[in-house]
């Protein structure tokens, strides 16, 4: 059998909802997305102190109530206790798969799918090399067809620069540091004739977006200005080389999933978890560190991580689903 009804349970953040959607597609199910907001005091409490998890959901959002689905795919430590409570309330009739570190006992779920750099352990834990994502080959092929005419004017090889930004106290990308990165890209554009297409993320911020436009656009790079369709998938589909700032596991994982050469660009990083992630994939030949100075960009090949497909296969095996 396969699940007839599936919920995706997150707070609606792209970094948590995207992996769940990718896993649902790999399982061949059409999920209902439930986005919730966890209110105080639950948000500030460890999961072990959530005495009434269903009361933690802010009113006015998605209904979290019976009838329970056959499968819940959840992500985000804030909703993990709620997902575990659904499993308990359903008396085992609902399977719950939590994606990423739940920050609570993995035994409270039927399965936990977490990147190995999170260090989550347990008999029901599937450790992945990278984070799950939904960039299937068909999705990239469609993006390539859409964006090919607009990127055709750029030189080859084409470098896609995926620019992140600040993330709490863990990552800092200053305008000065971004200026250094852009100077290195610009040097290679002039010397080696590479084409460049850059896109900021939500974390980039106005100051750094201004740096991208001022430093790269006059040199002939395409820099997305935030209007119209986001070229992100098109860049991954059509680039020959990808460079990603160090602050995003999701962007690095999606880039590595293409099988193309992927450079990670150091930023100010206070996350040992992130450093373990890029170090491991660098040692395995998937990633390379962005070269300092004027070293030319290289091309290499590797077997891309396919954690989403592997996680779906493991779910089917463990749950006895077709």
User: Pick from 229, 238, 221: which is nearest to 145 by CA?
Assistant: 238
Which residue segment(s) compose the domain that 97 sits in?
A: 6-129+307-319
Q: Note whether 112 and 21 are same-domain residues.
A: yes
Burial degree of 321 (CB within 10 A; 0-12, 13-18, 19+) = middle
Q: Is 300 part of any domain?
A: no
What pLDDT, on the 0 to 100 scale, is given for residue 84? Answer: 96
Q: Is 59 part of any domain?
A: yes
Domain count, the chain: 2
Q: Note whether 237 and 311 are same-domain residues.
A: no
Q: Is 53 part of any domain?
A: yes
What pLDDT, on the 0 to 100 scale, is given for residue 275? Answer: 94
What pLDDT, on the 0 to 100 scale, is given for residue 311? Answer: 95
What pLDDT, on the 0 to 100 scale, is given for residue 293? Answer: 79
pTM: 0.89
User: Pick from 78, 129, 131: which is nearest to 102 by CA?
Assistant: 78
Q: Is 142 part of any domain?
A: yes
Q: Note whether 116 and 143 are same-domain residues.
A: no
What pLDDT, on the 0 to 100 scale, is given for residue 286? Answer: 97
What pLDDT, on the 0 to 100 scale, is given for residue 322? Answer: 77
Which tokens is 298 given? 């290289």
Residue 215: how many other CB atoms lie within 10 Å: 21
Q: Which residues contact 47 (CB under 8 A, 6 or more apart)?
A: 77, 80, 81, 84, 102, 103, 104
Instruction: Indicate which CATH number applies to the domain containing 231.
Output: 3.40.50.2000
- Name the stretches of the chain with pLDDT < 50: none
Terminal-to-terminal C-alpha distance of the chain = 6
Give the Cα separation of 80 and 111 in Å (integer).
12
> What Cα–Cα distance (Å) separates residue 307 from each residue in 89, 99, 224, 293, 313?
30, 12, 29, 34, 10
What pLDDT, on the 0 to 100 scale, is given for residue 69? Answer: 97
Sign of CA dihedral 235, 241, 246, 251: positive
Give the Cα separation of 198 and 223 in Å (integer).
5
Q: Is 73 part of any domain?
A: yes
What pLDDT, on the 0 to 100 scale, is given for residue 48? Answer: 83
Instruction: Indicate which CATH number applies to the domain containing 101.
Output: 3.40.50
Q: Is 301 part of any domain?
A: no
Residue pLDDT, tens place only, 79-95? 999 999 999 999 989 99
Q: Note whether 167 and 283 are same-domain residues.
A: yes
Q: Is 18 part of any domain?
A: yes
Q: Note whether 44 and 63 are same-domain residues.
A: yes
Q: Note whether 285 and 199 are same-domain residues.
A: yes
Q: Is 1 part of any domain?
A: no
Q: Note whether 84 and 218 are same-domain residues.
A: no
Sole residue written with tokens 């992130």: 274
Q: Note whether 99 and 196 are same-domain residues.
A: no
Q: Note whether 255 and 213 are same-domain residues.
A: yes
Q: Note whether 155 and 250 are same-domain residues.
A: yes
Q: Note whether 151 and 278 are same-domain residues.
A: yes
Q: Note whether 71 and 207 are same-domain residues.
A: no
H helices of the chain, in order, are 14-27, 80-89, 137-151, 175-192, 205-216, 232-238, 249-256, 272-283, 307-319
């Amino acid at each position: 059998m396969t699940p007839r009804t599936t919920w995706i349970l997150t707070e609606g953040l792209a970094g948590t909802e995207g992996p769940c959607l990718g896993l649902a597609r790999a399982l061949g199910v059409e999920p209902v997305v439930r986005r919730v907001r966890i209110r105080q005091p639950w948000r500030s409490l460890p999961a072990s102190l959530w005495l009434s998890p269903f009361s933690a959901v802010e009113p006015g959002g998605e209904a979290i109530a019976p009838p329970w689905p056959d499968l819940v795919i959840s992500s985000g430590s804030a909703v993990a206790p709620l997902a575990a409570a659904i499993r308990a309330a359903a008396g085992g009739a609902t399977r719950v798969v939590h994606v990423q570190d739940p920050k609570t006992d993995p035994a409270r779920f039927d399965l936990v799918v977490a990147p190995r750099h999170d260090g989550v352990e347990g008999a029901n834990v599937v450790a992945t090399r990278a984070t799950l994502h939904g960039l299937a080959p068909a999705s990239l092929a469609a993006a390539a067809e859409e964006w090919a005419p607009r990127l055709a004017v750029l030189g080859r090889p084409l470098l896609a620069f995926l620019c992140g930004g600040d993330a709490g106290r863990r990552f800092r990308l200053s305008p000065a540091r971004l200026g250094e990165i852009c100077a290195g890209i610009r040097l290679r554009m002039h010397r080696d004739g590479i084409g460049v297409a850059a896109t900021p993320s939500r974390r980039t911020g106005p100051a750094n977006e201004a740096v991208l436009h001022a430093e790269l656009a006059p040199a002939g790079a395409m820099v997305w200005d935030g209007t119209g369709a986001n070229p992100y998938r098109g860049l991954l589909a059509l680039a020959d080389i990808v460079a990603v700032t160090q602050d995003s596991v999701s962007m690095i994982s999606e880039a590595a999933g293409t099988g193309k050469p992927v450079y990670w660009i150091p930023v100010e990083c206070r996350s040992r978890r992130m450093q373990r992630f890029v170090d491991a994939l660098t040692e395995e030949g998937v990633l390379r560190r962005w070269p300092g100075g004027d070293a030319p960009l290289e091309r290499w090949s590797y077997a891309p991580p396919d954690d989403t497909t592997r996680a779906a296969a493991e779910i089917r095996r463990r749950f006895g689903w077709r």
